[in-house]
Amino acid sequence: MSAFTIDIISIILGFSILQGLIFSAVAFVKRQRLLGALMLVLVWYQLEFLLVREVIEWKFDLFYGTRYGSWLLFGPLLYLYALAYTNPDFKWQWKHWAYFAPFLLFTVALPLLIADVIPERGKYYGMLTVMKFPTMGLSAIQLFYGVLFFLQFAFSAFFTFLSYRTARKYTMVVENNFSHINYKWLSRIIFSAAAILISAIVFFTLLYFSSGYERWMDHIYVIPVTLLIYGIHFAALRNSKILEKPLVPLRSWEKYEKSSLTEDLAKEIVSKLESVLESEKPYLNNELTLSMLADQLSISPHFLSQVINERLHTSFYNLINQHRVNEAKKILTKENGAKTILEVAFASGFNNKVSFNTYFKKHTGMTPRDFIKTNS
């Protein structure tokens, strides 16, 4: 093991790793788990390259994941983040695990089950260099991983295209500054990911047509990864709202595309809605519907639905349940365990204990009982 060499590249990579870890922690706290996971993957790539570049061996071979196929993880995470970011009602489903099946199989399972999947030179230089400049016979599994080393980038490129297509649907209608800022944020991440993948193709092309492998070639795709980490971090510092709210749901734009709602009327409805929710607390009625609330505001249900979706960036039920949860928090704090959970649920507008627990944990990150313990 050689001594660690401090140079400008090492310093830049080191700071990007530190920033990436800080950003990931903040993203997880803000409940932006997919974005936090995406950043951790980028940190993994940076740390892996830094250790390999300095020939400092970590006694855990599976860590050198790019040589196994860790880019199989990047594309699906980006695509799921695009889906979640453009839809406040996005929910993780079992089918989403299928996107990660290649990564779990080829990057985690097989290297743990099969010894010597990748030769030592392949761990440090990548399987493509081993295939082009073979110094030893390659087994069938090693030949497969040589092909996989390239296919993992094609796999990520496919999911990056799906991410672009998801975001592209939002370019037709960007009505307010908040949505416009958030759309630009998502687009820049996707285009940066595409730039990284293009740089990887350039790297492979140079590697194939060159007479030998040079260390500087790695910088062709490592530097774009570094720039993406810095870019995400500083964009979040400039506009903290990108970690807090998603874009307006696409279906709301499709549904209200021909609406006659004006800007002034929308602002008036928002003001009136907030006033009624604050003073009259209609959400305490556990049978409250969109039509009932619209009648109380003396506006059409269509306009009310449009305002909630496009101006408040949420759905009717999410808005109502958020107020119910806030009411429940006040009751729990005031009563300090004097009322049962079911009594608090009814008092705050929920009609059963299960939905109360579900929405309370969704909006606070803890169950009602944990909330009582925390505040007692």
CB 118 within 8 A of CB 67: yes
If one counts every other C-beta atom within 10 angstroms of the C-beta of residue 328, the result is 25
How far is the CA of 313 from the CAs of 278, 292, 346, in angstroms? 19, 21, 27
Structural domain boundaries in the chain: 8-243, 250-375
Largest CA distance in the chain: 80
Predicted model pTM: 0.63
pLDDT at position 326? 92
320-371 per-position pLDDT tens digit: 999 999 999 998 888 776 788 889 899 999 988 888 888 888 888 888 888 8
Which SS3 state, helix, strand or coil, does residue 69 take? coil
DSSP 8-state assignment for residue 315: -
**What is the rounded (10 degree) CA torsion for 290, 252, 322, 35?**
170
Using CA atoms, how far apart are residues 193 and 75, in angstroms rounded to an integer?
Answer: 9
Using CA atoms, how far apart are residues 66 and 176, in angstroms rounded to an integer?
Answer: 41
How far is the CA of 296 from the CAs of 273, 303, 318, 323, 326, in angstroms? 10, 13, 19, 17, 21
CATH superfamily of 250-375: Homeodomain-like (1.10.10.60)
If one counts every other C-beta atom within 10 angstroms of the C-beta of residue 283, the result is 22
Domain 8-243 has CATH 1.20.1070: yes
Q: What is the mean pLDDT of the chain?
A: 80
As given in the structure block, the two tokens for residue 242 are: 């990108």
Give the pLDDT of the chain (376 residues) as one tens digit per residue: 444 456 777 788 888 889 889 989 988 888 888 889 999 999 998 888 887 776 566 666 677 777 788 899 999 999 999 888 877 667 788 889 999 999 999 988 888 888 777 777 777 767 766 766 665 667 788 888 888 888 999 999 999 999 988 877 654 434 333 344 456 778 888 888 999 888 888 877 777 677 666 666 767 778 888 888 888 878 777 766 667 655 444 444 445 555 667 777 888 888 999 999 999 999 999 889 888 898 888 888 888 888 888 788 788 888 999 999 999 999 888 877 678 888 989 999 998 888 888 888 888 888 888 888 887 6
